[in-house]
Chain A
Amino acid sequence: MKKILQVQNLTKEFKGFKLDNISLSMEKGYIMGFIGPNGAGKSTTIKLIMNLLRKDAGEILVFGKDNIRHEKEIKNRIGFVYDENYYYEELTPLQMKRVFAPLYKNWDDNAFTNYMRRFELPLNKQIKDLSKGMKMKYSLAIALSHNADLLIMDEPTSGLDPIVRRELLDILTSVSREEDKGVFFSTHITSDLDRVADFITFINEGKVVFSSAKDDILENYCLVKGANGLIGEEEKKNFIGIRENRFGFEGLAMDRKNIRKMLGESIVIEKPTLDDIMLYFARRNQDA
């Protein structure tokens, strides 16, 4: 399979924050969720990919090509949606389109018109008068109207209501499944990704915790619940994290068979959500 995004040992240091040796890669036609708590380095990574920040070390290949040396060619094939509206609020969607369209080699005006109609977006209202959801959909319409092969989204769902979020996810799945586009999607709302994502890259405090197929991740980890007396210091070593309350404990662990053997039949073992996994990993790092 052809890799459309490869990040190798990417490092970038700011005052008080370091993106440390990030590596990940994805293929076309798949959706990769890029998750992590706020401040984990998701936006920094995306900005480095888009060459908005300059890396200290490492390599970024998009469509197999260096993202700086082939910047223009690459950006012709990337559609982007950012969490804030970075468009000119004083312009109308139509005016903004007239500015953007000539910049893209493969601009498809029919596609744009169709998306504008499908999203029920006004052409002649100032962008600042659109709702947050409409602004996101407008960004998406632009991102999908120039035959991009890779969609890069930085927290596109933040601040949106569940209906619009669902709508966005539907579109992303259909473009990735039908048109073979790759979708790289950062979010701290992981429930968006529990179902549709193919791969998950989880970063925390500037480091990659894991980057692999979502199914493997969800199968490898399990959520264990049981009575407080069951776990002592020795048992706790088998957990990534544990939360105890007066009536019992809940923890994230890896090998469910082993856990079952160790703790017996009285415990409840459940499938974790990405949120559970993220939470326990983030807590572990805080404690350490």
Chain B
Amino acid sequence: MLSLMLKDIYLLKRTMAFSALYLVFMLFVFSSLDSAAGVFTFCMVAITHMLMVSSCALDEKNKSDVILNSLPLSRQVIVGARYLMVIIYMLFAVAVYGLGTWVIGMLNMIPNLYYITLDGLIGAFLASSVITSIYLPFYFRLGYIKSRIYYFILFFGLFFGINLLASKVITDSTILSRTGLFLAKQNDTVVGIITAGAAIAMLAISYGISLRLYKKREF
């Protein structure tokens, strides 16, 4: 398991460096917008997915399913390593974001910088988990090339969905405000636990589905 994760880190070194630059760029872009608060969620989702998809793409390019499944590795481990790596990517995104905002804040380059808060962290974790949980089963069933089509549909679908939702929240916020009210009544810890729990449950279910699909794959 650790071996496979090491492999991803070797492979993604460059992509990781690139994603850090990308993050700084996004910070500047978002600072000129009003919705500065969304920047963290956006960056985390974007970085997590950029890394995950790059890793999948490199595996496909190298036809590594053949090698990985010839090694003394169970398919559980191969699938599991991917999910664990997603969590590593998330942590990486948080670290880079934290570091980025800290440096930029010190230099006082951007006026309305959004620092990480616990709420933001949990929200971003949830968002990244949703997209991961939907994408990976497609990947494990279809391989990278074919899964991309579904991925684009889902990715854009989600983003437009969020936009739609966001605009709904601004104009008519009955549903969300009710959920919000419910959550607001709880203290922050409970909300955090519920949200994080939901995200983890989703990843776990997704892992189960991916594994079932991957076990049926032929190479």
Contact = CB atoms under 8 A, between A and B. Distances in A.
Given A53-B219, A54-B218, A105-B72, A90 B58 contact: yes
B63 interface: yes
B72 A75 contact: yes
B108 to A, nearest CB: 39
A50 B62 contact: no
A47 B69 CA distance: 10
Given A99-B7, A100-B3, A88 B62 contact: yes
Contacts of B71: 75, 100, 103-104
Interface in B65-107: 66-67, 69-74
A88 B9 CA distance: 12
B72 A87 contact: no
A82 B71 CA distance: 13
Interface in A79-98: 80, 82, 84, 86-91, 95, 98
Contact of B63 (A84, A90, A104): A84
Nearest to A53: B218
Contacts of B156: none
Contact of B7 (A71, A78, A91, A105): A91
Contacts of B64: 86-88
Interface in A236-266: none
A181 B149 CA distance: 46
B175 interface: no
A102 interface: yes
Given A88-B58, A90-B58, A95 B10 contact: yes
A100 B72 CA distance: 10
Contact of B218 (A52, A76, A90): A52
A206 B10 CA distance: 41
Interface in A21-65: 47, 50-54
B66 A104 contact: no
A72 B6 contact: no
A95 B74 CA distance: 22
Given A71-B74, A75-B70, A86 B62 contact: yes
B209 interface: no
A216 B93 CA distance: 65
A254 to B, nearest CB: 39
Interface of B: 2-4, 6-7, 10-11, 58, 61-64, 66-67, 69-74, 216, 218-219
Please name the 6 residue pairs, one residue from A and one from B, whose CB atoms are nearest each other, closest first: A75-B72, A86-B67, A52-B219, A99-B7, A76-B72, A53-B218
30 contacts: A47-B219, A50-B70, A51-B69, A52-B219, A53-B218, A71-B74, A72-B74, A73-B72, A75-B71, A75-B72, A75-B73, A76-B72, A78-B70, A86-B62, A86-B63, A86-B64, A87-B64, A88-B7, A88-B58, A88-B62, A89-B61, A99-B3, A99-B6, A100-B3, A101-B3, A102-B2, A102-B3, A103-B3, A103-B71, A103-B73
